[in-house]
Structures are given as C-alpha cells and as structure tokens.
Amino acid sequence: MATINVYTESTPNPSTMKFLVNKLLINGSLDYPDRERAQESDFARELFKFNFVEGVFFASNFVTVTKSEGVEWSDIEPLLKDFVKGAVESELAVKPIEHSEEVNFEGTDIEVKIQQVLHDYVRPAVEQDGGAIAYRSFDNGVVTVELRGSCSGCPSSTITLKAGIEGLLKRMVPEVEEVVAEAL
C-alpha cells in the first residue's frame, strides 16, 4: 500500500478547510451539510463525531470540513489531518454503493450548453477552493445554481457568483441574463 499523504489548504470560506490526499476518494462529489444527512457515509459519519464539525464535503481527492464558530483551526487541524489519513488508509467508505456519476446533461439546447459550461469551466475552479456547483434550472434568462462545500456560506461566494460565473455564462451563452444561488 502506498503511503497516504494529507495536506491542507485554506479556502475562501474561513470556516472551512480542505484536506487533500494523494488518492482518489470519489468520482463526483457528495455534500453532507449536517450530521443527519451523513448517516449513509461511514467517513462523514465518523467526522461528525468531532463536536466541532458542522459540515463535510467530498470531491475527487479531498474532503472539506466546516468547523464550528469559536474553534480555531490551529487547535483542530492536526487532529483532523490524522483522522483523514487513518480513514483513507483503512479505506473507510465515503459512500455505501459506488454508483457511476456520469455526466448527463438534460433539457433544452440552451440548458445543455449552460450545464456544459458549468461542468467544463466553473466546476474545476470551484473544486480548487473546496466546493462544488450544481445546475438547478434556467428560466426567463435566469440560471439557478446550488453552491456546496466551502462555497456554501462563503463570504466571497456572491462575488464569485456574480463577477465570475455570471460573467462567463453571459459571454458563452447569450441567453443568460443573470445567475442566482439557490438557498440551502
């Protein structure tokens, strides 16, 4: 078995930290914004046993952890790094059944084009910051997306949404007039 290395990266959201490993954890992404929803995932359920963990998000080779207010990263980061390393080494399951998360765009030609742009251009950038974006709808020029992981509740997510994502979609899909985030 190869040695598992874990390193951390801060995210634009000061309440979240990205724990990266040198192994693929999951194809796609999974968001567990609370303890109740984490019951299907052994890995997430164990993370929520730490009383300071308020959210867990998995994508490719990282897990993003959202901490409670009043807890300092300097106090919990080493503990979480050790936990993530042990969990990956023991192959603790991220999700119970490995079902393929194929890229399957649906809807009108405009909706498919919007989903393609989000997948090809926006998703990789958002994942770099420990988050994810999901397409929800397109109606009368308004694209609705869902922000997950570190992007959910991030102070700079509005700037990212309006200046970055909206600008890109308006340029690439002229029918787009506005992009809004769906409240979770």
| All CATH 3.30.300.130 domain ranges in the chain, comma separated | 109-183
Q: Please state, in angstroms and rounded to a whole number, the distance separating the CA atoms of residues 109 and 116.
A: 11
- If one counts every other C-beta atom within 10 angstroms of the C-beta of residue 95, the result is 17
Largest CA distance in the chain: 53
In the chain, residues under CATH classification 3.30.1370.70 are 6-90
Q: Which residue has the tokens 């994942």?
A: 127
Q: Which CATH number fits domain 6-90: 3.20.20.70, 2.30.110.10, 3.30.1370.70, 3.40.718.10?
A: 3.30.1370.70
* Local confidence pLDDT in tens for the 184 residues of the chain: 568 899 999 998 999 999 999 888 887 788 999 999 898 899 999 999 999 999 999 988 899 999 999 999 999 999 999 999 999 888 888 876 544 456 678 899 999 999 988 887 788 777 777 778 889 999 999 999 988 877 776 767 777 777 788 888 988 899 999 999 875 5
Fold of 109-183: GMP Synthetase; Chain A, domain 3 (3.30.300)
Q: What is the predicted pLDDT for the residue at 26?
A: 84
